[in-house]
């Protein structure tokens, strides 16, 4: 009996789950019966990391730091409830033998549909039209005039799961599609009917630019001052990937210069600072300065009628959230059975 109990307890893990809603909590408790679960509705911070954690699970609102890893010596698995993992110090985790697992595919249609919604809201001035009716019943058709998407050229950066789904929707609207990807997929280009071009060509030719690449050193500020200078006047920009893909300062300058007709942002640089309790970061001067810069940039974006800013919700449908939780439970169960599924592959030689 002692032996059976020992085996039983050795398979039970201390799992700390951050950013958890009440709804998720019930499903996770049911799916991970037999483990010791601790839930935190808030994102992870250094003050609430637990030294006994063997597994942690986080959402995109949490950022794990090296200092936090130091405080969790037993940590073996980070289960991200997201496709992206730019909020985890991957090289440091790999060096310590900590696996990072993600939910690679839960909502390519979910995010692509949302991306297209932002595009339609902007190009057909739907928010302004609704506002015109609500506020005074008077509307000026000239001010509310939009543009057709049929025949327009959309430039898609990142032709992975979401990018490809967006391309097929754009094709349904009769749009021309060009794309840029660091790893071109000619089979997809042939199948979906689009052409790969260089980044610069994409900036020059596109009427609309939509971002669907992960945040890496190669994509950080891919839309910068130089990129904006190459773009057509009255270009539309949509970002449902990660905020840091756009240099917000350069975007604000381009808006000031009337270069851009509309911007749809589900993600923005500094969104994590805005959601966090500012009291936590006041202690640190550098972080406070960053918070101030990001907050003032975000305020300027919110005030601009050409900008639609939403709080990182492109993933947020009943179906997609259910798939995220299901895969996370499976990822953790697989780990318990000695199998690592949906692991992020980390090449330590790239860590220069």
- 312 given a catalytic annotation: yes
Q: Which residue of this chain has its Cβ atom nearest to ligand NAI in the complex?
A: 160
Report, in Å, the least distance between residue 248 CB and ligand NAI: 16
Ramachandran region, residue 246 (left: φ > 0; alpha: ψ -120 to 50; beta: rest): beta
Cβ contacts of 73 within 8 Å, gap of 6 or more = 51
Report, in Å, the least distance between residue 84 CB and ligand NAI: 4
Report, in Å, the least distance between residue 244 CB and ligand NAI: 10
DSSP reduced 3-state for 177? strand
**What is each CA distance from 352 to 27, 145, 217, 347, 348, in whole angstroms?**
40, 50, 11, 11, 8
Report, in Å, the least distance between residue 7 CB and ligand NAI: 38
DSSP 78: E
If the CB atoms of residues 182 and 339 are measured against ligand NAI, the closer one turns out to be 182
DSSP reduced 3-state for 116? helix
If the CB atoms of residues 14 and 82 are measured against ligand NAI, the closer one turns out to be 82
Distance CA 119, CA 237 (A): 8
- For tokens 């599924």, the residue is 341
**What is each CA distance from 160 to 98, 152, 181, 220, 241, in whole angstroms?**
26, 22, 9, 17, 12
Residues at the site binding ligand NAI, with contacts judged by CB under 6 A: 83-84, 108, 111, 157-163, 180-183, 212-216, 218-219, 240-242, 266-267, 312, 314-315
Report, in Å, the least distance between residue 74 CB and ligand NAI: 29
- 242 given a catalytic annotation: yes
Report, in Å, the least distance between residue 323 CB and ligand NAI: 11
Copy the structure tokens of residue 335: 């780990």
If the CB atoms of residues 72 and 89 are measured against ligand NAI, the closer one turns out to be 89
If the CB atoms of residues 214 and 249 are measured against ligand NAI, the closer one turns out to be 214
Q: Which of 62, 54, 59, 58 is nearest to 35 (CA)?
A: 54
By CB neighbour count within 10 A (0-12 exposed, 13-18 middle, 19+ buried), where does 126 fall?
middle
- 221 given a catalytic annotation: no
If the CB atoms of residues 125 and 242 are measured against ligand NAI, the closer one turns out to be 242
Cα end-to-end distance, the chain, whole Å: 51
Catalytic residue (one of 99, 242, 269, 276)? 242
DSSP 232: P
Distance CA 16, CA 57 (A): 6
If the CB atoms of residues 241 and 255 are measured against ligand NAI, the closer one turns out to be 241
Report, in Å, the least distance between residue 289 CB and ligand NAI: 26
Pair 52, 75: CB distance under 8 Å: no
Pair 279, 253: CB distance under 8 Å: no
Pair 50, 72: CB distance under 8 Å: yes
If the CB atoms of residues 53 and 267 are measured against ligand NAI, the closer one turns out to be 267
Copy the structure tokens of residue 18: 């951050």
Copy the structure tokens of residue 328: 């996370």
Catalytic residue (one of 24, 269, 271, 276)? 271
Q: Catalytic positions, please?
A: 242, 271, 312
């Amino acid at each position: 009996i002692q032996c059976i109990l020992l085996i039983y307890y050795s398979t039970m893990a201390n799992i700390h789950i951050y950013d958890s809603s009440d709804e998720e909590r019930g499903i996770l408790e049911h799916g991970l019966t037999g483990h010791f679960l601790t839930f935190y509705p808030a994102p992870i911070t250094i003050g609430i990391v637990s030294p006994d954690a063997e597994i942690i699970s986080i959402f995109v609102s949490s950022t794990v730091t090296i200092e936090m890893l130091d405080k969790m010596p037993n940590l073996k698995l980070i289960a991200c409830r997201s496709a992206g993992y730019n909020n985890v110090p991957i090289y440091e985790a790999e060096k310590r033998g900590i696996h990072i697992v993600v939910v690679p595919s839960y909502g390519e249609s979910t995010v692509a549909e949302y991306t297209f919604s932002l595009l339609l809201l902007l190009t057909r001035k739907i928010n302004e039209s609704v506002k015109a009716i609500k506020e005074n019943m008077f509307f000026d058709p000239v001010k509310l005039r939009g543009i057709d998407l049929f025949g327009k050229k959309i430039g898609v950066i990142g032709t992975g799961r979401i990018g490809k789904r967006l391309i097929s929707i754009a094709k349904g609207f009769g749009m021309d599609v060009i794309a840029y990807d660091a790893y071109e997929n000619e089979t997809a280009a042939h199948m979906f009917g689009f052409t790969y071009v260089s980044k610069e060509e994409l900036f020059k030719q596109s009427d609309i630019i939509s971002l669907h690449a992960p945040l890496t050193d190669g994509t950080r500020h891919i839309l910068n001052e130089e990129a904006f200078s190459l773009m057509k006047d009255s270009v539309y920009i949509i970002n449902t990937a990660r905020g840091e893909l756009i240099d917000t300062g350069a975007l604000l300058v381009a808006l000031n210069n009337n270069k851009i007709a509309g911007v749809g942002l589900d993600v923005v640089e500094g969104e994590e600072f805005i959601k966090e309790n500012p009291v936590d970061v006041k202690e640190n001067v550098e972080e406070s300065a960053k918070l101030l810069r990001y907050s003032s940039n975000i305020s300027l974006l919110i005030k601009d009628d050409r900008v639609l800013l939403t709080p990182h919700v492109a993933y947020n449908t009943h179906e997609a959230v259910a798939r995220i939780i299901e895969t996370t439970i499976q990822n953790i169960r697989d780990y318990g059975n000695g199998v690592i599924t949906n692991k992020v592959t980390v090449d330590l030689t790239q860590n220069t």
